[in-house]
Structure 1
Amino acid sequence: MTMSDHTPQDWNPRDPAVLADQLHAYDELRERCPVAYSDAMHWSLFCHADVVAVLDDPDTFINASLHRAIPNAMNGAEHTKYREILAPYFSASEMASIEPKCREIATNVMEAIKMPGTTDAVADIAEPIAFRTMCAFLGWPQTTWERVRNWSHGNQAATFHHDHEAARAIAVEYEAIVTEAIEDHRRQDIRDDVTGRLMMTEVNGHRWSNEDIIAVLRNWIAGHGTVAAAIGIVIAHLAENQNLQHRLREQPQLIPAAINEIPRMDGPLVANTRVTTREATINGRTIPAGERISLMWIAANRDPRAFNAPDEIHLDREQQANLLYGGGIHYCLGAPLAQLELRVTVETLLAHTAEISLASNETLERETFPGNGFVTLPVRIR
């Protein structure tokens, strides 16, 4: 029996009041109970310093995954080895190579929107750009993006509802999507794009199998749901804050700062998980070995002990403490691609419009755990 079998709950992550306003609910918990236990999430860390302490001790707090994932579910020397194999796919030269295609996709998406008019910035802008760019990056047909988007929605729903049957079906669909792409490359003998290069990769004298590539792409593809959510969040704040929008139109050189600062303050991903390998004490609470710990990114990134005026957007803020892409040895491998997509989307959006504003005064519906984006985002564009 572990401690979790009889630990009283400090909070309920599924409380409707929490789900209705995750940002401020987590802010309150960070001050009231910074290391909190719940049956649904086990141990959750809300303070920036505590999250960083876990990130800085990968021997005590190891990464964990329900599915095989390379390198995300690996630890130690094995993780380092595979990360070094995959890091070149996100190099500066690779990003420079994919940027024209990303810009073409963003331009096509914006030109398809009727202006002046009202559009859903999530379904009509954020998701098409994120998932179509992902397909282009991997060398997949552009027609695949909607299938991947539907998979992403299903994956998030299954995670929230703890629906094991749906999760199994989602896992089968994911494997089918990747396997079809691999087999299509094999039939056409395509070797010069990302998927083709992964197919040619050899480790320890063995060429990667379909299953290996499925494990590699798992987090790359799932992460694009987070990228789409981040794009939606940035657009929402630009639509709501006309002064900020005007400033970026007048000073586009500030866009790189904006795409880091806005999702710091209003993050797209709630948490990631670690597991303790031995007993650990965090902020005065002792956690046994074998316990699951959730690193609450969106609470840590709003911690006033790490950020002055954390719930405000400051484009001149130093970003070293920003945990938008995690930290430590498991820092997000795909961060350069995510930043590219965010930057190009905002640049293209502002270049193709004169004004963006919220289309409704009603409270916008937010996603809930594991995400924090918008379900829909009606905006007026002219």
Structure 2
Amino acid sequence: MAPNATIEDQLASLELVSDPYPLYGELRESHPVYWSEGWNAFLLTRYDDVVDVLRDYRRFVNAGRYTLFMEQLPPERRTEFGQFYEYWTKPGFNLSDPPDHALVRTLAKRFFTRRAMERIRPRVQALVDELIDDVIEQGEADLVRDIATPLPATIIAELLGLPTDDVVWFKHSTLQYISFLGTGAPEPETIRRSEAALLELREWISGVVDELRREPRDDILSALVAAHDSGEMVSEDQLLATCIDLASGGDELLTHVIGTGILSLHQHPDQLRLLREDPSLLPLAIAEMLRFEPPFQQDWRRTAADTEIRGVPIPAGSILRLMLAAANRDPRVFDEPDVFDIRRDPNRHIAFGFGIHLCVGAPLAEVELDIAFSTLLRRLNGLQVATDTFEWHPSNGPRGLKTLPITFRPGPRVSAGSRLN
């Protein structure tokens, strides 16, 4: 980044994704409520401001927050991407407010309780061992490709009752369909790519929904289909949007946490040594990974009416970009926030959000991350990151590594496990 680059220059730079934290710090201390012309949004970077907005779902709403990205385009472009624009106006799980949100959340929480997630520990452990078995005799792997990607995608597919044979395709498609988020005014080619992926996902989910109507099961998607067919959900579009939200919402973020978590330990060998010496620190270490490198750097809200934050007037209908990653390093809340400290306790990170939209899959994430990190550190002796250069996905929303080459001492395979049913 050029030494005299303006804030707008930095926000527009592709270099931002590799290390956004210096800019976040500048904004947090000097411009905590910052209007960005390039991003067409107000950026909030202080912890208390971000939490206040997430808490107040009446003044700061979900509905329509993504369509405002599209409204930055000229009218003829919006017409060109009409199907994509219309999709984001539907009140799916991630774009709904009470009372619609409460219905879906109540259904989903029934399946994502901590007790229910503890019951799938054996399956998660078996899958992690299977994935490690595939590489352990080689002494090297790409952590992102070989373990961090298939693990959460397979588990969420099995939980939701989705075809696991399509996991690789599904993972690629969901990454493409959210690729327009986390940028300023999205480029037409980015939207075109996202729209194509969305249309494929809708067709695929429609087939799954039709099958569940014929043969319902005891899973989340079957419950959603039943809710729609009994008149509780407004439309088929709302049903499909909600299914896509639930299916795609968590697996990509867990992939990012596994990758950046191992990288953080590699870059802080004293903390890795502490964790190896005292494995009971793992829950605190995972919380610190989420705080230090949150997989979703920001969230969005739309103002329902004219308002004011820190003396800055904000018109109704404005986009607020809630910079979760900046808030997670606010020195007003965290001592030495730029220090990676696996003994940090308490740790009030907001990587999973806050308030009524707190990630419903957090209990699943906790189980998967606990088993993934404990097993990687136990089975991959001499684990090292095998590169000094890192390629990040080009988004300031979901932020994660494209690859992470690792080496380790070759070891023995273990027996495989069974599926989640």
Fold agreement, TM-score > 0.5: yes
Q: Does 1:183 align with 2:210?
A: yes
1:354 corresponds to: 381
Residue 28 in 1 paired to residue 42 in 2?
no
Secondary structure of 1:371's partner?
A: coil
Q: 1:210 to 1:76 in 2, by over 3 A?
A: closer
Q: Matched residues in 1 for 2:40 and 2:143: separation?
A: 31
Aligned match for 1:100, one of 109, 112, 122: 122
Cα deviation digits, residues 139-183 of structure 1 (max 9, x gap): 223212101111133124343444322222121122123223333
Report if aligned partners of 2:41, 2:321 keep a CA contact under 8 Å in 1: yes
What TM-score does the superposition give when structure 1 sets the normalisation length?
0.89
Retained in 2: the 8 A contact 1:255–1:343? yes
Amino acid paired to 2:374: E
| Equivalent residue, structure 1, for 2:389 | 363
Task: Report the AA paired with residue 219 of structure 2.
Answer: D
Is the CA contact (8 Å cut-off) linking 2:143 and 2:403 kept in structure 1?
Answer: yes
The change in CA–CA distance for 1:348 and 1:208 in structure 2 (over 3 A counts) is: farther
Partner of 1:11: 8
> Do the aligned partners of 2:24 and 2:45 also contact (CA within 8 Å) in 1?
yes
Tell me if structure 1 keeps the 8 A contact 2:291–2:329.
yes
After superposition, the Cα gap between the structure-2 partners of 1:363 and 1:27, relative to the gap in structure 1 and judged at 3 Å, is: farther
Sequence identity (%): 28
Read off the aligned partner of 1:93 and give its amino acid letter: R
Picking from 372, 375, 380, the partner of 2:402 is 375
Q: Would the aligned equivalents of 2:206 and 2:240 in 1 still touch at CA under 8 Å? A: yes
Indicate if the aligned counterparts of 2:228 and 2:235 stay in contact, CA closer than 8 A. no
Deviation at 1:272, TM superposition (A): 1.1
1:61 is matched with 60
Shift of 1:211: 3.7
> Which residue pairs with 1:6 in the alignment?
none
Q: How do 1:86-235 and structure 2 match up within 5 A? A: 86-115=108-137, 117-159=139-181, 160=183, 161-162=186-187, 163-186=190-213, 189-201=215-227, 205=231, 211-220=237-246, 221-235=248-262
The 1:202–1:168 alpha-carbon spacing in structure 2 relative to 1, beyond 3 Å, is: closer
Contact 1:90 1:336 in 2 (8 A): yes
How far, CA to CA, are the matches of 1:369 and 1:137 in structure 2? 29
1:5 corresponds to: none
2:321 alignment counterpart: 294
RMSD: 2.4
Instruction: Read off the aligned partner of 1:196 and give its amino acid letter.
Output: S
Contact 1:191–1:200 (8 Å) recurs in 2: no
* Mapped partners of 1:24, 1:350: distance in 2: 31
Give 1:99 shift.
Answer: 2.1
Query: In the aligned structure 2, how far is the partner of 1:144 from the partner of 1:248?
Result: 36
**Alpha-carbon distance in 2 for matches of 1:309, 1:345:** 28
User: Any conservation in 2 of the 1:199–1:208 contact (CA below 8 Å)?
Assistant: no
Q: Which runs of 5+ in 2 are unaligned?
A: 1-5, 68-87, 410-421
Residue 263 (structure 1) aligns with: 290
Alignment CA distance shift 1:54-1:91 (3 Å): same
Gaps of 5+ in 1: 1-8
1:222 CA drift (Å): 3.3
TM-score (norm 2): 0.81
Identify which range, 253-262 or 240-249, moves more after superposition: 240-249
> Residue 206 of structure 1: CA displacement?
5.0
- Label 1:200 to 1:337 Cα distance change in 2 as closer, same or farther (>3 A): same
User: Which one is further off, 189-198 or 32-41?
Assistant: 189-198
